[in-house]
Amino acid sequence: MSDSNQTRAQQLIGDFAPELVDLTDRVLFGDIWERIELSPRDRSLVTVASLITSGSTEQLRGHLVRAKSNGLTETELKEAIIHLAFYAGWPKAMSAITAAKEIFAAP
């Protein structure tokens, strides 16, 4: 599979941890993200909130891109980060808003 046809997990760790890639692609994104009980937009909001509260800024960037694709606006995501500042902590919100600024500045 060429790089352009690989999933993000395959590109990042496929040669190092193929089992984790399989679980990520098949179970997380192939099953969990496809369940109809929540819309992709709602799943993105929940996931972004979870990543912010856990301080998982590296994974947050990719999920902010996904959130945009799933219909969340820049205003909604900024408001979620502001709201979470009071629940997750100021440093986590500042890291998240920096990541969001980078994502929304990209074309």
- Chain centroid, CA 81 distance in Å: 13
Using pLDDT thresholds of 50, 70 and 90, give the confidence band for residue 60.
very high
Instruction: Give mean pLDDT, residues 11-15.
Output: 90
Shared-domain flag, residues 107 and 60 = yes
Q: Is the pLDDT of residue 3 over 80?
A: no
Q: What is the mean pLDDT of the chain?
A: 94
Q: What is the per-residue pLDDT for 107?
A: 75
- Residue from 40, 43, 54, 104 nearest 84 by CA: 54
64 Cβ neighbours under 8 A, 6+ residues apart: 48, 77, 99, 100, 103
Q: What is the per-residue pLDDT for 26?
A: 95
The number of distinct structural domains making up the chain is 2
Shared-domain flag, residues 83 and 49 = yes
In contact, 44 and 64? CB cutoff 8 Å:
no
Structural domain including 96 reads 38-107
